[in-house]
Amino acid sequence: MGHHIVCITFDFDAISGWIARGMTTPGPISRGEFGPNVALPRILALLRKYDVPASWFIPGHTLETYPEQCRQVCAAGHEIGHHGWTHRPPASLSREQEEDELTRTNEQIIKLTGRGACGYRSPAWDLSPHSVDLLLQHGFVYDSSMMGDDYTPYRVRRGDIIELEKPAVFGRQTRLIEMPISWSLDDFPHFEFIRTPDTIQQGLMNAGGVLANWIDDFNYLRDNLEWGVLTYTFHPFVIGRGHRMLTLEKLLRTLKDGGAIFMTLEDAAAEYERRNPFKPG
């Protein structure tokens, strides 16, 4: 009998993602407000109905702007993870700015939960050359921003040298555990229509087709690996719309019936650590 773990995660960006894109007019801000004001109670009720613990990655901006909603997430027993302070990708920040965001948000997380975050997820999944060092220095156990595997956590390297016209030189593994993610398991690119002066993200996919993909990724894990972790990423203002809430419920029900074991990313990372203790090399 295999041990197939599913981690349901939420990036609770609220309005911070629009602000970071420079989209601060009432239209985009109202899209972000849908998350804390409308979607959150629906999602918490659904997680409670299926007894699913989730991991919520919350930017400091959301923690300070919507403290009551963040308290509700914490009171429901979910993990609170770190998602920057602004929603700017760390790769766009200086080392000092990135460290300031780590510290400032962790202060809010300590206020809310009594301890610093165990896990970090970078906004837009784009780490900087400094991120791994900073995460180790600030005591993080895992990161969830990279895509080097689909079902098996792994140790994050530091010190890669990647140049255009030379073979890659890979750095050494660190203690930091990667809990990998994928754009295909994220609701945002499938569902959100975004128009900027430079780009259009089409989004607006049929939820049934997306659901079939999400379920098949679990089926492959269950049928082909003895042990593994599958991580889904949702955003309250995206998944919280009516037809998508029905999709999320079908997903949870199907996974549960298929033998999935629901865990927070923190607990899944701890299980990986037990199975694969770190050996400094």
Complete domains list, the chain, with CATH:
3-275 (3.20.20.370)
Q: Give residue 1's pLDDT.
A: 54
Q: Give the C-alpha separation, 90 to 132, whole Å.
A: 11
The answer to whether the beta carbons of residues 145 and 181 sit under 8 Å apart is yes
List of the chain residues with pLDDT < 50: none
User: How many Cβ atoms from other residues are within 10 Å of residue 77's Cβ?
Assistant: 11
The answer to whether the beta carbons of residues 13 and 59 sit under 8 Å apart is yes
Q: Give the C-alpha separation, 228 to 28, whole Å.
A: 38
DSSP bridge partners of 225: none
Q: Give residue 200's pLDDT.
A: 87
The answer to whether the beta carbons of residues 180 and 144 sit under 8 Å apart is yes
Q: Taking the complete model, does pTM exceed 0.85, yes or no?
A: yes
Q: Give the C-alpha separation, 234 to 256, whole Å.
A: 18
